[in-house]
Structure 1
Amino acid sequence: GSPTTGFLKGTGENALGGLFSALAGQAWVDWLFMAGLAGVGLALVLGLGTRIAAGAGTAMLLLMWAAELPLTTNPFMDDHIVYAIVLVGLALAGAGGTLGLGTLPVVRRTPWLR
């Protein structure tokens, strides 16, 4: 199955539904989505490139939030927004430098790897 079909096919009647429903089920969108999820997840778990991962993860979550507009529940405090705030907090706190590969000297010397 396609990971994007189930989520994006139901967005046809939403505010940005035309844009997102056109992307549903396309192979390149599926690969890009799954590679993005894997990359963000691995970077956060390993503590390597947490700033880049937090930025990419926040962008992905905001796009998922936009695909669901207008929301039937609270339009501001959606779970996508909460998780995006958590990712920004992880990046600002330098979470990768506490545990994981972020403690390696080469990572500490290279700003984009933090």
Structure 2
Amino acid sequence: MLAVLRVATGLIFLWAFLDKMFALGWATPSGRGWIEGGSPTAGFLGSVSVGPFESVFNSWAGAAWADWLFMLGLLGIGLALVLGVALWPAAIAGALMLGFMWAAVWPPARALSDGSPSGSTNPFVNYHVVYAAVMFVLASTRAGDTWGLGRIWARVAPVGRFPWIR
């Protein structure tokens, strides 16, 4: 089950990467993909309209460095989880990315113009926190060894010397 959870979580990150890269029409409207000149961070970070970090996230929205870090993070975390390698670095990077995303939607009980809530109504635990916890569970249980390349990855010389990159 951990292998299924690892691959499923990895596919969530890879799907987000592919949708933002190619504007597959799900979260990213057609014609606004990164490959077409769109910004993968402009919409989300630019829409932060409340909270203690509003001005910080608004200033990052659409910045080239933020776009590159975000997209490389989605791709790297997704590939690491699907392949079952570098699960600790993926968990650390993923928790950092998801922590920023959690902070961008905090406080979570903001109402949209139509009165519907914009996400979780729990101020502490939402899907960003759960995904981060899942990645640490996957790394700490060596979930990459089942249906993944974790055992092969563990035999690579640098990984043997620095087990935290396993």
Q: TM-score with structure 2 length normalisation?
A: 0.64
Q: Which residue of 2 aligns with 1:106?
A: 155
CA distance in 2, matches of 1:102, 1:90: 11
The correspondence for 1:86, drawn from 131, 134, 153, is: 134
Is it true that 1:77 corresponds to 2:125 in the alignment?
yes
Residues 1:96 and 2:144 aligned together: yes
Say which structure, 1 or 2, has more relative contact order (CA 8 Å, 6+ apart): 1
Which structure's CA Rg is the greater one? 2
Q: Which residue of 2 aligns with 1:7?
A: 44
Tell me which amino acid in the other structure corresponds to 2:137. G
Fraction of identical pairs, as percent: 52
How far the C-alpha of 1:113 sits from its partner, in A, is 4.0
Specify every segment of 5 or more residues in structure 2 that has no aligned partner in the other structure, as ranges. Answer: 1-37, 110-120
CA RMSD of aligned residues (A): 1.7
- The answer to whether the 8 Å contact 1:107/1:113 transfers is no
For 2:27, the equivalent position in structure 1 comes to none
Distance (Å, rounded) in 1 between the aligned partners of 2:126 and 2:72:
24
1:35 equivalent in structure 2:
72
Question: In the alignment, which residue of structure 2 is the partner of 1:60?
Answer: 97
Q: Is the 8 A contact 1:57 1:84 kept in 2?
A: yes
Contact (CA 8 Å) 2:142, 2:150: kept in 1 or not?
no
Q: Matches of 2:165 and 2:88 in 1, distance apart?
A: 8
Q: Which amino acid aligns with 2:82?
A: V
CA distance in 2, matches of 1:78, 1:112: 27
Structure 1 stretches of 4+ moved >2 Å: none
5+ residue gaps, structure 1: none
- Tell me the alpha carbon deviations over residues 11-60 of structure 1, each in whole angstroms, 9 at most, x when there is no partner: 13222111111000111210111001100111111111111111111111
Larger mean CA deviation between 103-112 and 53-62 belongs to: 103-112
Tell me the matched-pair count. 114
Query: Is the Cα contact below 8 Å between 1:101 and 1:107 reproduced in 2?
Result: no
- Which protein is richer in helix relative to its size? 1
